[in-house]
Chains A and B, each alone.
Chain A
């Protein structure tokens, strides 16, 4: 079974700062997911990537398959980016069920 480690667990930064969240996993995968969970609990899929780099607005996700590592970057961070960011990989058990990291709780202060 895949193990997923995220760091940091908690991150507080000032508005405008460049943010990096890291994710490592133990078993080779076909794709990795980055998710965003807002205080109410709702989860939104940000990225699904299997190689290289993807960019949506101020969010950038990278993955290094050989090193089993991915990073999520936020440029020009804003208070509305405050949320829990979760890394997830296929659990390997069937279908596309996911195994999740514990999440990074990000707070952006104005």
Chain B
């Protein structure tokens, strides 16, 4: 069966520090991968998606970037965090045209 992992589960970082969140998927190959963010009091928002290694599409301009160095690994990064980057970050995978499966999420607090 397929499993999706995210780490860390929680993170507290100062403004201006770098960020790296990791997501890995097991039990499937060539999945579509997604990064979503849920800011406090707001709905989920699509940040990035990837249909293959090295292929990244951004949905919104922001302080964040994403990379897919391996088929089942998706990384969300920032060089310098802003207060507004605080939120709950969710990774998800899917097969084209099918349901999406979400990871457990990372709760990021920027102080």
Cβ–Cβ contact A103 & B32, under 8 A: no
Find B97's partner among A42, A96, A99 (CB 8 Å cutoff).
Answer: A96
Bound-state CA distance A96–B46 (Å) is 10
Which B residues are in CB contact (< 8 Å) with A86?
Answer: 43-44
| Chain A count of residues within 8 A CB distance of the other chain | 24
Which of A58-110 touch B at CB < 8 Å?
86, 88, 91, 93-103
Bound-state CA distance A97–B94 (Å) is 10
What distance in Å separates the Cβ of B2 from its nearest Cβ neighbour in chain A?
Answer: 12
A91-B46, A101-B43, A103-B43 are known contacts. Are A96 and B96 too (CB-CB below 8 A)? yes
What distance in Å separates the Cβ of B86 from its nearest Cβ neighbour in chain A?
Answer: 14
A27 adjacent to chain B (CB < 8 Å): no
In terms of DSSP, what is the predominant structure of the interface of chain B?
Answer: strand
Report how many A-B pairs have Cβ atoms within 8 Å.
68
Interface size class of B (residues with CB under 8 A): 20 to 34
CB-CB contacts of B48-66 with A at 8 A, as 1s and 0s? 0111000001010000000
Which B residues are in CB contact (< 8 Å) with A99?
Answer: 46
Can you list 19 pairs linking A and B with CB atoms under 8 Å apart? A33-B99, A42-B102, A45-B101, A48-B98, A86-B43, A93-B59, A94-B57, A95-B32, A95-B34, A95-B50, A95-B57, A95-B94, A96-B32, A96-B97, A97-B59, A98-B46, A100-B45, A102-B43, A103-B43
The interface of chain B, by Cβ under 8 A from chain A, is: 32, 34, 36, 38, 42-46, 49-51, 57, 59, 88, 90, 94, 96-102, 104-105, 107
